[in-house]
Amino acid sequence: MKIVKKRNGRNHWYIDEDAGNERVPGVTTIKGDGLPKPGLLNWAGDATAEYVLDNWDNLAKLPLSERFKKIKGGRYEKRDAAANRGTQVHKLAERLIAGETVTIPDGLDGYVQACVAFLDDFQVRAVHVEAVVYSETHRHVGTTDLIADVLLPDMPEYDHVPRDSDGFCRGLLDWKTSRSGIFGEDALQLAPYRHSEYLILPDGEVIDMPPVDFCAGIHLRPDGSYSFVPLECGEDVYRDFLYVKEVARIMGGLRDLVGEPIFPPTASRYVLTRATEDDSEALF
């Protein structure tokens, strides 16, 4: 199995060159296709209503058909803006970890300040940044945000987390910039990363997936604050992810379960005629 990450603009996907460039499903895609998201119903309604209120005057100037199209697609403008913001913050975080000086785009100051505060507060020592990891056994792939050694507080609730001689713990960490914060489904993203078999180094060398002591999400907020939230990503959670992967496979193949309509081999032998009033009376 030879994994290659392909890019096209903001999108990316993975192929297995040893399998004839077959696409290998990404963890994020699997989670999106196989995990029910009832909260999206409320989000769609709220985002559409917010778009209408924020653009009321401009919408009122449009013909009804154009107004309908704008309202219908309004929620996607917010979603795409949030996705673009997250991508920018991830790239800035990667450069900050590398020790580079960055110029902060408008509107991202708070997120970058939160990132810097986290890196300083926990004395983060990066080990692998934006590394591609994959499983040959279960055929899934993804890109980790950060594997790093961090200095956790010396408190009883963290006594179960192994530490090195300097007191640092190795974590598999994920940046989050969404307004909603960290949720349980984020564990279903980090668990397959943690339990992958291989990691690809920047020079292309493939090594065994390094073990980590814990997993966590870092929620960066626009006001400059952050939350560092541990996530349960043990073998049982990984097993749950594999169930989600199977649901995604089933959902993706439902169309293949429906065949073409069956037409009769010959013309019908039955002839339908309209009953007359006399015929109807003869039935009684």
Mean per-residue pLDDT over the chain, rounded? 87
Read off the pLDDT of residues 69-103 as tens digits, 9 standing for 90 and up: 888 887 777 777 777 888 888 888 888 888 888 88
Per-residue pLDDT, 133: 95
Is the pLDDT higher at 109 or at 41? 109
Q: Are 154 and 172 in contact (CB under 8 A)?
A: no
pLDDT value of position 277: 67
Mean pLDDT of 180-202: 93
Provide the 8-state DSSP code for 198: E
Name the percent of the chain lying above pLDDT 90. Answer: 44
Q: Order of strands, edge to edge, in the sheet holding 22-23? A: 3-8, 11-16, 22-23
Helix 64-97 and helix 39-54: axis angle, to 10°? 110
Per-residue exposure over 127-154, b if at least 16 CB sit within 10 Å of its own CB, e if not: ebbebbbbbeeeebbbbbbbbbbbebee
Q: Is the pLDDT of residue 3 over 70?
A: yes
What is the per-residue pLDDT across 228-284, written as a single tens digit (0 to 9) for each? Answer: 999 999 999 999 999 999 999 999 889 899 999 988 887 667 777 777 666 656 555
Instruction: Judge whether residue 215 has pLDDT over 90.
Output: yes
Q: What is the pLDDT of residue 164?
A: 87
More confident residue, 264 or 194: 194
Please state, in angstroms and rounded to a whole number, the distance separating the CA atoms of residues 34 and 251.
7
Cα–Cα distance list, 269 to 187, 214, 263, 264, 274 (Å): 63, 73, 15, 11, 17
Whole-structure pTM value = 0.81
